[in-house]
Amino acid sequence: MNFALLRKIRIAVSLLLFVLFTVIYLDLSGIVAQKLYNYVTYLQFIPSILKFISIIGISATGFIVVIAFTFMFGRVYCSSVCPMGTLQDIISFISRKLNKKKHFRLKKGYKILRYSLLGASIISFFSGSLILINLLDPFSNTGKIFTNLARPILILVNNFTSFTLGKLNVYWLYPVEIRGISYTAIGFSLIVLATVGVMSFTKGRLFCNTICPVGTLLGLFSKYSLFKISIDRDNCISCNLCEQVCKSGCIDKKNKIIYFDRCVSCYNCFEVCPKGGIGYANSILKRREIEPIKFDNKRRELISKTFLYLIGLSSISLGQIKVIPKKLSKIPNLKKNAVSPPGSRSISHFTGKCTACHLCVSACPTQVLQPSLWEYGFVGILQPHMDYKASFCNQDCIICGQVCPTGAILPLTVNDKKVTQIGKVNFIKDNCIVETEGTECGACSEHCPTKAVQMVPYKKLHLPEIKNEYCIGCGACEFACPVKPYKAIFVDGNKIHQTAKKKIEEKIQQKVDLKSDFPF
């Protein structure tokens, strides 16, 4: 068998999956991305495990496929499926192009560091906290880099191009507004990118074999793989070319041993070996060659998604707020709980399943989902929350539940979404412009989709009156409120999501004189 061909197949598969990963995070329209979410995230290891725990369904069995392939052929997940792995390969490729004399060599196993991080992550998970997984999961960290660094840059380029083309009366692109900036998320993403970038630029796949808990776990499985890459001592001429191209640093040229638990199955060694001294060997039958690898890509049908409008800002915009306050509000909005996304069921369920991959943040059309700082406490840092200072949650949007790869946000129908109460509205009269400045406003009531906020007579004006049984916690009222710095109306999150009542619309009965020629 031509083992060198495996490298070309591996590169093609990894680039294809990386391009698809890029699309689901950077597609500004969301139209193409909606068709790809489930396919791209199906084989992501940590998200698949968490989703399986939540729903126990076929759509969440990707991790089982990964484990099966690992027991067969080693860490093919790390070489072809993991976006962080491909990102490292791209950086390493650039490094080798800049320095063509660069060679790799055998590295230390770093077993204490690797297994300590893996053990701490497992203990943290079973103790009910995902803090270490949030910080170390390769898929989620790559998602943070794309959402918090690449996407804003793309939006700026898009808007500049749109503006330039508009001057030429060409309207192929439309501007996209950036709502909400998390400097914490940007800072963390920069640290991750810098760490991975330096390690891969200088040492290849060092990140995978020192820090990444997924790589360490799959490395344990690969030690028992049925087929392993090994050195044929009879054909090996000790040219050391294999060691020089091994970006995992797992080939011992002196003893002619490959440490397969650290091997990421990049197949670089296959291509450079001049004598065919390296190949797959059956670890049980001691055979040297195997049949060609066949990848079964047949999967379940794509779940149909509800069509979303492109911009997703409904009728609420800053331009519609006609009232400009003259005074600053004084009473702070003391929120007891953060607001978790609709479909997350409860704050504890959400924080216990979310790996902060920020896929929902990039997909949210109104950009109300923003990375948290302390809203969920330290263990929930960077997990998305509903930020009503940035935007609001559209009543007809269900995309966050459709794209979540871990089951932290479960899918909802549009009808269920409309009665899911993720929080309750609170009103502070002494902050309201009606009370402080004697001016009519009504922005909160005007934009409330459930009519949980209505205006009632007050000192010859009208003051908001809230009815929480109808409130779903969408934050439209809080976002529309013009008062600064503290809103006069705000949403406090429900620890456990509840069901709101539907307000029965009052029908206006009009008597019509049927004998009249013009009854209207």
**Better-predicted residue by pLDDT, 325 or 354:** 354
Residues 55 and 120 in one domain: yes
Q: How far is CA 31 from CA 10, 28, 37, 363, 489, in A?
A: 28, 8, 11, 10, 34
pLDDT score at 293: 38
Residues 330 and 270 in one domain: no
pLDDT score at 322: 59
Torsion of CA 349, 351, 357, 363, to 10 degrees: 60
**Would 303 be classed as within a structural domain?**
no
Residue 129, domain extent: 4-282
pLDDT digits (tens, 9 = 90+) for 140-182: 999 999 999 999 999 999 999 999 998 888 888 889 988 888 9
- Cα 357 from Cα 139, distance rounded (Å): 7
pLDDT score at 30: 86
Residues 390 and 478 in one domain: yes
**Would 348 be classed as within a structural domain?**
yes
Task: State which of 258, 282, 306 marks the end of a domain.
Answer: 282
pLDDT score at 306: 32
Task: State which of 238, 258, 282 marks the end of a domain.
Answer: 282
- Cα 171 from Cα 7, distance rounded (Å): 43
Closest CA to 179 of 33, 393, 494: 393
Closest CA to 478 of 368, 353, 314, 341: 368
Average pLDDT over residues 243-265: 89
**Would 427 be classed as within a structural domain?**
yes
Average pLDDT over residues 261-271: 89
**Would 249 be classed as within a structural domain?**
yes
DSSP secondary structure, 97-159, as one string: HH-TT---------HHHHHHHHHHHHHHHHTT--HHHHHH-HHHHHHHHIIIIIHHHHHHHHH
Residues 240 and 362 in one domain: no
Closest CA to 479 of 316, 312, 310: 316
pLDDT score at 411: 93
Residues 43 and 160 in one domain: yes
Q: Is the pLDDT of residue 275 over 90?
A: no
Q: Is the pLDDT of residue 319 over 60?
A: no
pLDDT score at 285: 59
Q: Is the pLDDT of residue 514 over 50?
A: no
Residue tagged 């063509």 (tokens): 100
Question: What pTM did the predictor assign?
Answer: 0.83
- 492: tokens are 């406090």
Please give the tally of structural domains in the chain. 2
Give the whole-number percent of the chain exceeding pLDDT 90.
63
**Would 173 be classed as within a structural domain?**
yes
Q: Is the pLDDT of residue 272 over 90?
A: no
pLDDT score at 508: 47
In whole numbers, what is the pLDDT of the chain averaged over residues?
86
pLDDT score at 233: 82
40 touches 25 (CB < 8 A): no
Task: State which of 225, 254, 282 marks the end of a domain.
Answer: 282
Beta bridge partner(s), residue 279: 230
CB atoms within 10 A of CB 392: 25
Closest CA to 352 of 131, 130, 140, 56: 130
Residues 325 and 267 in one domain: no
Residues 126 and 39 in one domain: yes
Q: What is the CATH number of the domain that holds 421?
A: 3.30.70.20
pLDDT digits (tens, 9 = 90+) for 452-473: 999 999 988 999 999 999 999 9
Residues 342 and 268 in one domain: no
**Would 305 be classed as within a structural domain?**
no
Residues 204 and 351 in one domain: no
Residue tagged 């998390």 (tokens): 182
CB atoms within 10 A of CB 236: 17
**Would 412 be classed as within a structural domain?**
yes
> Is residue 433 exposed (0-12), middle (13-18) or buried (19+ Cβ within 10 Å)?
buried
Q: Is the pLDDT of residue 245 over 70?
A: yes
**Would 517 be classed as within a structural domain?**
no
pLDDT digits (tens, 9 = 90+) for 4-45: 688 899 999 999 999 999 999 999 988 889 889 989 999 999
**Better-predicted residue by pLDDT, 290 or 377:** 377
pLDDT digits (tens, 9 = 90+) for 172-225: 888 998 888 899 999 999 999 999 999 999 999 999 999 999 999 999 999 899
- Four-residue CA torsion sign, 336, 353, 395, 26: positive
- 377: tokens are 């406490």
Residues 276 and 329 in one domain: no
Cis peptide before 274 (omega within 30 of 0): no
pLDDT score at 316: 43
- 516: tokens are 């009249």
Q: Is the pLDDT of residue 235 over 90?
A: no
Q: How sure is the predictor about 324, in pLDDT bands with cuts at 50, 70 and 90?
A: confident
Q: Is the backbone of residue 512 left (phi > 0), alpha (psi -120 to 50) or beta?
A: beta
